[in-house]
Amino acid sequence: MSVHSILLDAGWIAVLVGLVGTIAQYVRVNRLGVEGVSLATWALFVCMGCFWVTFGAVSAHSWQVVLGSLLLLPVQVSIVAKLRPYRRWRVTTRSLVFFVLCCVLPTLVWGWVGGVYGTGFAMVATRVPQIIELIRYEDASGVSVSSWALGVFGTALWVSYYVGVHLWAPLISTFCAGVASLVIALLASWRHQQARNRLIALEVFAD
């Protein structure tokens, strides 16, 4: 098997990893409720998913890129529906405006490359509040290290695929989002370790 074939297969694995991660989030929402789940973030995920489907079909001509978002959209929409966007229309509107500014307008002005870079900026921007929260607050009980680590793995697969098909703008955008996800995973792991150390210390003093 050639290196090129392996890189193309990485795209299909990335599709599967993304689907598994999104379904896991849906199951978590069903089981634990929507506390801590951001409507703004998930509404933006839906919008960006539509962008990637269109980009994959019209510009990249890639089934991997199309299915990588198309298969996730029904699950993402279901999560958004559970967050009752019709009751928080201002939040939904802000997400739509942010999507238009970051993705739609750059596409209209600079073409698909501009839109892809804008989407990369949006993907990083959605992760910044989580990074700030993990730095400022010790409580990270609501942050799943495994979920973010799975996201980083999926990002690495997408980057490998983009190398194989020479799609440099998506590669750079996805890589930047992956770095932000990695930062979240590391910070969350650090905070969880701090919590375990405090618990151990309390048990020692209790004895």
pLDDT by residue (tens digit) across 122-143? Answer: 999 988 888 888 888 887 766 7
Range of the domain at 50: 3-206
pLDDT by residue (tens digit) across 144-191? Answer: 788 889 999 999 999 999 999 999 999 999 999 999 999 989 998 998
User: What is the total count of domains within the chain?
Assistant: 1
pLDDT by residue (tens digit) across 70-110? Answer: 999 999 999 899 888 888 888 889 989 999 999 999 999 99
Of the candidates 84, 67, 79, 44, the one whose C-alpha atom is nearest the C-alpha of residue 158 is 67
N-term to C-term CA, the chain: 59
What's the rounded Cα separation, in Å, for the pair 27 and 108? Answer: 37
- pLDDT score for 145: 83
